[in-house]
Amino acid sequence: DRPLTVLGLESSCDDTAAAVVQHTPGQMPQVLSSVVAGQTELHADFGGVVPEIAARAHTEKLDSCVEQALTQAKMALSDVDAIAVTAGPGLIGGVLAGVMCAKGLSIGSGKPLVGVNHLAGHALTPRLTDQAAFPYLMLLVSGGHCQFLIAKGSDEFTRLGGTIDDAPGEAFDKTAKLLGLPQPGGPSVEAEAKNGDPQRFKFPRPLLDRPGCDMSFSGLKTALLRERDRLVAEHGGLRVQDRADLCAGFQAAVRDVLAEKSRRALAEYLALNPTHPTLAVAGGVAANMAIRGELETVCAKDDTAFLAPPLALCTDNAAMIAWAGIERFRAGHQDDMSLQARPRWPL
């Protein structure tokens, strides 16, 4: 039950990150530092993350991120109790870069190594920021993930459903691309949608006619493409109002699907009779005010607390990995040099 200080490393997608988190039992965990080096510019010309470029950039940046994280936390490597690293799921080159770096640090310092599942990192964030009590319901919505989880323990998650194709963030990004808006698509589509009429285009709400919590977003993109092409053919280009209406219609469809599936996930979760029912969100899409507002409404109807951690801890970061490392380490979990990078690693 002693205080623990853990250095966390994250490199599973296009952010290189290092952080130091400290926790004394009975107190709020402290994020002593959280350094995130993004790679958006490196991939800008390619319309998506290029795995080889990402892996190389992680290899180049990990060392300096670790150094910055330790300096900002006013610590030396010898002061930490363990080194936690994302061991998957993610792009294999990036995950390997992180795991190798962590192994090197662990050998060099003699500090224990803890492999962390990236999704568990996201899913345990409400305990880092709000000391959420198990069990709580979690909605992960980002550019890469979309799923409902019931977090029952630091290593015990039940998946209720998720996307069967694109993640919503990916759909926002593709929509922006189709409409000539800047990347990342989420913020630019949200800004356009503010001036648009969400009713003008009847976009599909896929899978709402089916039971369960699975979702689908790729058909939405196809429907949007069809409308765009029709408008362009009719008017010789996309008019300002058309673009705003397309964004508003698209965003409303994503919002409705997430809200309805959240209602169903909540019903399954509430059947467990949690004492302090909580729905927490994580992932970049949780920044969307229209979506967030609708989820808040859903929770209010069910007397469920709605938790949205600060955005910097909702998107990819290493503080969540350090924190998940603390939870795993306290539970007696530790890895050795046989720790493998796992590109696929379901919770």
Task: Give the orientation angle of helix 185-193 with respect to helix 240-270, to 10 degrees.
Answer: 110
Return the one option of Zn ion, ligand KG4, none that residue 173 interacts with (CB less than 5 to 8 A, by type). ligand KG4
Is 316 marked as binding a ligand?
yes
187 binds ligand KG4 (CB under 6 A): yes
Q: In degrees rounded to 5, what are phi and psi of residue 190?
A: -60, -45
* Contact indicator for 99, 135 with CB cutoff of 8 Å: no
Cα–Cα distances in angstroms (integers) from residue 64 to residues 19, 70, 306, 318, in the given order = 12, 10, 36, 14
Both structure tokens of 288: 């969307």
Sheet containing 146-153: order of strands? 156-162, 146-153, 136-141, 278-282, 305-307
117 binds ligand KG4 (CB under 6 A): no
181 binds ligand KG4 (CB under 6 A): no
Piece of 102-110, 200-208, 239-247, 278-286 that binds ligand KG4 (CB under 6 A): 278-286
- Based on CB atoms, which residue is closest to Zn ion, 316 or 335? 316
Q: How many residues does the chain have?
A: 347
Closest by Cα among 249, 263, 250, 288 to 208: 263
Is 143 marked as binding a ligand?
yes
287 binds ligand KG4 (CB under 6 A): yes
90 binds ligand KG4 (CB under 6 A): no
Longest Cα separation, the chain = 69
CA gap 32, 20 in Å, rounded: 5
Query: Shortest approach of Zn ion to residue 142 CB, angstroms?
Result: 5
Give the helix ranges, DSSP H, for the chain: 40-43, 51-72, 92-109, 118-130, 168-178, 185-193, 218-235, 240-270, 289-301, 311-314, 319-330
Of 136, 172, 203, 329, which lies in the binding site for ligand KG4, with binding defined by CB under 6 A?
172
Is 99 marked as binding a ligand?
no
Which residues sit at the interface with Zn ion, rule CB under 5 A? 316
CB contact set of 290 (below 8 Å; sequence gap of 6+):
190, 193, 251, 252, 255
253 binds ligand KG4 (CB under 6 A): no
Site string for ligand KG4, 312-331 (x = CB under 6 A): ---xx---------------
Supply the DSSP symbol for 236. S
285 binds ligand KG4 (CB under 6 A): yes
288 binds ligand KG4 (CB under 6 A): yes
CB contact set of 241 (below 8 Å; sequence gap of 6+):
195, 196
Residues forming beta bridges with residue 159, ordered by sequence position: 149
294 binds ligand KG4 (CB under 6 A): no
249 binds ligand KG4 (CB under 6 A): no
Return the one option of ligand KG4, Zn ion, none that residue 206 interacts with (CB less than 5 to 8 A, by type). none
Piece of 94-102, 180-188, 203-211, 231-239 that binds ligand KG4 (CB under 6 A): 180-188
- Based on CB atoms, which residue is closest to ligand KG4, 73 or 258? 258
Is 195 marked as binding a ligand?
no
Which residues participate in the annotated binding site? Answer: 118, 122, 140-144, 173, 186, 190, 288, 316
Q: Give contact residues for ligand KG4 (rule: CB under 6 A).
A: 13, 142-144, 169-170, 172-173, 184-187, 190, 283-285, 287-288, 315-316
- Residues at the binding site for Fe cation are 118, 122, 316
- Residues annotated within a binding site for substrate: 140-144, 173, 186, 190, 288
